């Protein structure tokens, strides 16, 4: 039996979450999931204070480790900074007699292509051909210079006490939620987050677009707060409890009184929401047009995807079928549905292949020794209800 301890960290604009599980033959048994407010440590997908972020993550991990008598030395996390963009590039080199070496050379050349005011963080192969010369078409993922510097600084700080694996948010989720048939026919995975909206588009089995839109659920909340002159938390409650993506999905115009001081007409509220949501959708549609991208359907996830009537709104805007992600995880022998806001975190656990147990030394035979104390027991899965903070609370 192949049993590993896997750990994932979600660096969200509104929350920082850590999940720990045992992976047994690709099946997850969740040990704990803890989330705390990000407290402005992350803005638009970019870490603002690396040292304080490290301290907060370290505190969460220490709490989980103490509660469950385990040692954690590694974790996987994903990023989707607001300047993430993609561009198709073509490179060529001598093929030689070693095709594997030629493929490596193509990828290396692609990574070294210069893009004005941006730095490439990864290249994804689309098509390669080998003759006298080797030719490759890649999708280059890049960040602006300043955001790339902040991202690298944060990654370096996190490595002070932990080994880390950094992944790209929409690609992790696309691997989890899109079938090979969907990738072949054309499908967009859209993660509606608090500060950003990230998009990965596949066609003919290959990644064709990977971008982050610097707009998310928090922007809608801020618009509501400004319109009705309420604080952010009150605006968030208004959005989640009575907000609808567009007034066209309302049969009647209901009136609500908030805190006995604010009168809100639901249709007017939906128009405030619709204006900002339309801005996000139009940004994505424009990218599709610029890249001549066609798709057959969309799959949506993320905490902000829970907005009432968002799937219907997107179906009308894109004229395509829209599906929300459906993910479960096993705990105490029972499969439980994962809320949309934790979909990335659980996807990271499933993606993580490294044993995250902290190494405490080596045996005489040179093999790594890991501490593996038995957990104090399983805990109920209340965390998968909205707004829960920890399995222990």
Annotate the chain with three-state secondary structure: CCEEEEEEEEECCCEEEEEEEEEECCEEEEEEEEEEECCCCEECCEECCHHHHHHHHHHHHHHHHHHHCCCECEEEEEECCCCCEEEEEEEEEECCCCHHHHHHHHHHHHHCCCECCEEEEEEEEEEEEECCEEEEEEEEEEEEHHHHHHHHHHHHHHCCCCEEEEEEHHHHHHHHHCCHHHHHHCEEEEEECCCCEEEEEEECCEEEEEEEECCCHHHHHHHHHHHHCCCHHHHHHHHHHHCECCHHHCCCCCEEEECCCEEEEHHHHHHHHHHHHHHHHHHHHHHHHHCCCCCCEEEEECHHHHCECHHHHHHHHHCCEEEECCCEEEECCEEEECCHHHHHHHHHHHHCCCCCECEEEECCCCCEEECCCCCCCCCCCHHHCCCCCECCC
Which are the contacts of 261, defined by CB distance < 8 A and separation ≥ 6?
A: none
Q: What is the pLDDT of residues 9-24, one digit of tens each?
A: 999 888 999 999 999 8
pLDDT class for 27, splitting at 50, 70, 90? confident
Are the CB atoms for 106 and 112 separated by under 8 Å?
Answer: no
Neighbours of 11 (CB within 10 A): 23
Phi, psi of 386 (to 5 degrees): -60, 145
C-alpha–C-alpha distance, residues 118 and 113, integer Å: 10
pLDDT class for 393, splitting at 50, 70, 90? very low
pLDDT of residue 385: 45
Q: What is the pLDDT of residues 254-266, one digit of tens each?
A: 999 988 788 999 9
C-alpha–C-alpha distance, residues 301 and 78, integer Å: 15
pLDDT of residue 367: 54
Average pLDDT for 124-150: 93
pLDDT of residue 170: 95
C-alpha–C-alpha distance, residues 156 and 358, integer Å: 18
Tell whether the model's pLDDT for residue 140 goes beyond 90. Answer: yes
Q: Taking all residues of the chain, what is their mean pLDDT, rounded to a whole number?
A: 88
pLDDT of residue 175: 93
pLDDT of residue 336: 81
Are the CB atoms for 100 and 223 separated by under 8 Å?
Answer: no
C-alpha–C-alpha distance, residues 79 and 61, integer Å: 19
pLDDT of residue 95: 79
Q: What is the pLDDT of residues 50-107, one digit of tens each?
A: 999 999 999 999 999 999 999 999 999 998 888 999 999 999 998 777 888 889 999 9
Structure tokens at 83: 């300047």
Structure tokens at 33: 């999931």
pLDDT class for 200, splitting at 50, 70, 90? very high
pLDDT of residue 332: 67
All domains of the chain in start order, with CATH: 3-80+149-174+327-384 (3.30.420.40), 217-324 (3.30.420.40)
């Amino acid at each position: 039996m192949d049993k590993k301890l896997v750990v994932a960290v979600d660096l969200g604009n509104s929350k920082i979450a850590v999940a720990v599980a045992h992976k047994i033959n690709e099946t997850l048994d969740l040990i704990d999931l803890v989330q705390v407010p990000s407290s402005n440590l992350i803005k638009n997908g970019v870490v603002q204070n690396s040292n304080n972020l490290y301290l907060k993550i370290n505190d969460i991990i220490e709490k989980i480790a103490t509660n469950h008598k385990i040692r954690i030395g590694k974790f996987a996390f994903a990023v989707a900074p607001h300047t993430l963009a993609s561009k198709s590039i073509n490179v060529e080199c001598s093929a030689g007699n070693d095709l594997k070496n030629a493929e490596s050379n193509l990828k290396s050349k692609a990574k070294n292509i210069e893009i004005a005011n941006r730095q490439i963080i990864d290249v994804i192969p689309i098509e390669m051909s080998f003759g006298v010369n080797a030719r490759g078409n890649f999708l280059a993922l890049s960040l602006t210079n300043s955001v790339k510097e902040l991202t690298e600084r944060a990654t370096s700080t996190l490595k002070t006490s932990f080994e880390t694996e950094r992944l790209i948010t929409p690609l992790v989720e696309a691997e989890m939620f899109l079938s090979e048939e969907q990738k072949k026919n054309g499908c967009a995975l859209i993660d509606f987050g608090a500060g950003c909206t990230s998009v990965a588009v596949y066609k003919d089995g290959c990644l064709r677009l990977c971008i982050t839109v610097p707009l998310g659920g928090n922007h809608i909340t801020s618009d509501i707060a400004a319109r009705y002159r309420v604080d952010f938390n009150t605006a968030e409650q208004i959005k989640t409890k009575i907000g609808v993506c567009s007034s066209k999905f309302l049969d009647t115009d209901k009136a609500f009184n908030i805190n006995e001081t604010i009168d809100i007409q639901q249709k007017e509220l939906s128009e405030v929401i619709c204006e900002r949501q339309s801005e996000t959708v139009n940004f994505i549609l424009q990218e599709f047009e610029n890249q001549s991208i066609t798709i057959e359907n969309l799959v949506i996830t993320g905490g902000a995807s829970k907005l009432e009537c968002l799937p219907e709104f997107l179906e009308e805007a894109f004229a395509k079928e829209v599906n929300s992600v459906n993910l479960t995880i096993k705990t105490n022998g029972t499969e439980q549905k994962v809320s949309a806001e934790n979909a990335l975190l659980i996807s990271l656990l499933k993606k993580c292949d490294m044993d995250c147990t902290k190494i405490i030394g080596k045996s005489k035979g040179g093999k790594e020794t890991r501490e593996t104390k038995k957990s104090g027991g399983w805990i109920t899965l209340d965390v998968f209800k909205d707004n829960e903070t920890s399995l222990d609370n």
